[in-house]
Amino acid sequence: MFAKIFRSDMINCALCYDAPCSKACGKIDPAKLLRSMWFENEKTAAAVLPQDSPCAACRAAEDGLMPCEAACVRPGEVPVRKLITRLYEEVRPNLEVSLPQDEERLRTQICGIPLENPFLLSSSVVASTYDMCARAFEAGWAGASFKTICSMDIHEASPRFSAITGDNGSIIGFKNIEQLSDHSVEENMEIFRRLKARYPRKFILASIMGEDDADWERLARLCEENGADAIELNFSCPNMAEGGLGSDIGQVPELVERFTAAARRGAKIPILAKLTPNVAKMSPAAEAAMRGGADGIAAINTIKSIIGVNPHTYISAPAVHGMSAVGGYSGQAVKPIALRFIAEMGHNPALSGMHLSAMGGVERWSDALEFIMMGAGSIQVTTAVMQYGYRIIDDLKAGLNMYLAEKGFNSVSEVIGIGLDSISETTDVLERDTIIYPKFNLKKCIGCGRCVISCADGGHQAISLTEDRSPRMDAKKCVGCHLCVLVCPQRAISGSGRRVKKKAEG
């Protein structure tokens, strides 16, 4: 409800490490509250506040800044007191339930193996060493899909990342040309043994990529013998130096079935096939994996992409000694595509009973919820961790837990697939006989006229400005497309206006 407003006030917050604002306060943890607001978790932020606001009694310095605001790495640019006061005044009075006292609702499972919550690190640099996984487990992640293990000699390029960023510098879309684990198989097996010994209840998903049938079988066997709870078959990496690997396999159902069967010969523990989105439909490969013996599907891996062509050097990013390459695209920008593939498999009756482990643009608890509602039973995250750190697990768990409590759900499992009935593969099922007019909130409107411009040049010329710069809609021209709702910078237009029947034509 308040998330977009909070984020607009927080545009200059750097989400610091060891934040100076919290050190300056000493009464509450402003940095953690700000982070919760950034990740659309303002309800739990409000719920953990003390009864009386410490900000009310805190005196500003001579320059008018609160101690936390003055200590900020961008002094005076983040209205900490205002934001926390709004938690007290606008959010806290509207809380529907008390803050959940435990995380029992978050408990779930992958193929019958318990998870303390649905959140895993996905196979990537964020889960590539013992120390990194250990710190993530200590932070609260339920498990990790370890960076893909292989027998190949891996040599990475430098640099190997690039990104598309938003107005405040946050990453919207992320490109990588990174490959697989550069540790030996033996080194990675030692990591598994150490992790399982220290964290027996954490879920270790061993991502592997073989070069042939025997290699897939051998790697699967070794992972099971050294403590992995399940195996993830990487049929989807778009960055392999050699052809016939990664996403080249995922695009050919026959190869998916063949190598899944090979891995199944090597291990009895659950197997998930990680599939490529670089296809028109994912179901053929998913069904092939099922025939080969897979117990579940992981999706999506990154999308083949080219971003950031330099207008002076003519080279795309990341540039490596004057060359670049097609790489994998991830981050918030790919979430709609990832949701589409998860929904496709969630709808497919042939895949009934298969566990769906979803990833692709998950940054906030609400992103994870969307995937769960489309049929996912577990959630994997990489790009958001690379940007914000393992600490995001706090808000992923707290936000989802609060939502489940508000809605009266007793477990994550009750939400899995709950939104599938609202989605169709085609638009022919949509009702087309009514118009829902936009609704204008004149108290919030600043008279910028953005709605007029967009409606005139991208819509149906149905909005004009009066002399006092208030929007006026012509109902005879409006078709209810709601473009104006999307472009309004003040969120002063909603899509909940009057509903009318279309007049019969002719």
Residues 234-244 have pLDDT tens digits of 999 887 766 67
Q: Which helix or strand (DSSP H or E) is residue 99 part of? A: none
> Quick one: fold of 434-501?
Alpha-Beta Plaits (3.30.70)
Catalytic member of 25, 237, 451, 484: 237
pTM for this predicted structure: 0.94
What was the pLDDT predicted at 1? 47
Residue pair 299/334 in contact (Cβ under 8 Å)? The answer is: no
Which tens digits make up the pLDDT trace of 54-98? 888 888 776 788 999 999 999 999 999 999 999 999 999 999 999
What was the pLDDT predicted at 283? 98
Query: For residue 360, how far is the Cα from the chain centroid?
Result: 6
Please list the ranges in the chain whose pLDDT falls under 70: 1-5, 62, 241-243, 504-506
Q: CATH 3.30.70.20 occupies which residues in the chain?
A: 434-501
Residue pair 331/383 in contact (Cβ under 8 Å)? The answer is: yes
Instruction: Kindly tell me the burial class for residue 449, based on how many C-beta atoms sit within 10 Å of its own C-beta (0-12, 13-18, 19 or more).
Output: middle
Coil, strand, or helix at residue 167?
Answer: coil
Per-residue b or e along 237-273, where b marks 16 or more CB atoms closer than 10 Å to that residue's CB: bbbbeeeebbbbbbbbbebbbebbbbbbebbeebbbb
What was the pLDDT predicted at 126? 97
CA distance 73 to 486: 33
CA distance 302 to 425: 22
Which tens digits make up the pLDDT trace of 194-206? 999 999 999 999 9
Adjacent-strand bridge partners of 299: 358
What was the pLDDT predicted at 152? 85
CA distance 84 to 76: 15
What was the pLDDT predicted at 268? 98
| Domain at 109-157+181-304+332-422, CATH from 2.60.40.10, 3.30.300.30, 3.20.20.70, 2.60.40.420 | 3.20.20.70
Q: CATH 3.20.20.70 occupies which residues in the chain?
A: 109-157+181-304+332-422
The verdict on whether 484 is a catalytic residue reads: no
What was the pLDDT predicted at 386? 97
Adjacent-strand bridge partners of 378: 357
Residue pair 66/43 in contact (Cβ under 8 Å)? The answer is: no
Contacts of 39 (CB under 8 A, 6+ apart): 363, 364, 365, 392, 395, 396, 399
